[in-house]
Amino acid sequence: MSVWYAIPSKRPVAEAEMCLSQWREKGYRLALFRDAGDEPIPCDLLLTGEYGGYHVAVNALCKEIMARDPEASWIVTGGDDMKPDPNKMPSEIAAECEAHFGGTFGVMQPTGDMKLWSESRVDKICGSPWMGREFCRRMYGGNGPFWPNYYHMFGDEEMHEVAKKLGILWNREDLSHYHHHFIREAREKGKPIVCPDFLIKANAAYDVHLPEFKWRKAHGFPGHEPIA
């Protein structure tokens, strides 16, 4: 059994390593998507190329992980500004998830960070979900765990709604992924809120994809259906 942390990463290596090193040291295997030309970060799987958005990147990483590692049972995603749960090893959490779901067709979202950050919406979205292998393999007609059309936002909210709809969502307050979100960091330090350059395009896409999310929600998220 292996557990992977799979994310796109745009931060400078030293900055990203402040969080990624903790996933590595905890026993997670790392899979990263980096823009072509960016300095590589030490990891177990690195994909590079033209960035097509968060959900396209994670879907591609999940596909590669499952193809290369038959022992991969759970894939966690999030960001290069998140830390793993400090109290449990990945193998222990994976075993608990498999016992809960009776296999790996399920999504588990740690929500403990809400106790530390009142603005967190982590109980309403799957912002750093544990995605079972069968979930990643079967969802959206076998194309990956995320609806790929969103550029950055709404994929996490759709996953939450879809997993809840299918009866395979498990929110766990006893587990926590600390999120070093730039808004949170600025407010805690009493500094002005400044969006990182690489997130400006992502945030600008909010208004573009909001109507799409609303339409998809109203119509039951067409295309999410899992294959056999």
User: pTM for this structure?
Assistant: 0.96
pLDDT (0 to 100) of residue 196: 85
Q: Is the pLDDT of residue 43 over 80?
A: yes
Predicted confidence (pLDDT) per residue in 172-208, tens digit: 999 999 998 888 888 888 989 888 888 888 888 899 9
CA dist., res. 155 & res. 74, Å (int): 19
Structure tokens at 56: 């396209």
Do 84 and 23 meet the contact criterion of CB atoms below 8 Å apart? yes
> With the CA atoms of 185, 189, 194 and 197 taken in that order, what torsion angle do they form, in degrees rounded to the nearest 10?
-50
Do 122 and 186 meet the contact criterion of CB atoms below 8 Å apart? no
Q: Is the pLDDT of residue 95 over 90?
A: yes
Least confident of 51-55, 63-67, 100-104, 195-199: 195-199
Do 202 and 153 meet the contact criterion of CB atoms below 8 Å apart? yes
> Longest Cα pair distance anywhere in the chain, in angstroms?
51
Please report how many Cα atoms fall inside a 13 Å half-sphere around the Cα of residue 39, on the Cβ side. 7
Structure tokens at 172: 């766990």
Higher-scoring residue by pLDDT: 20, 187: 20
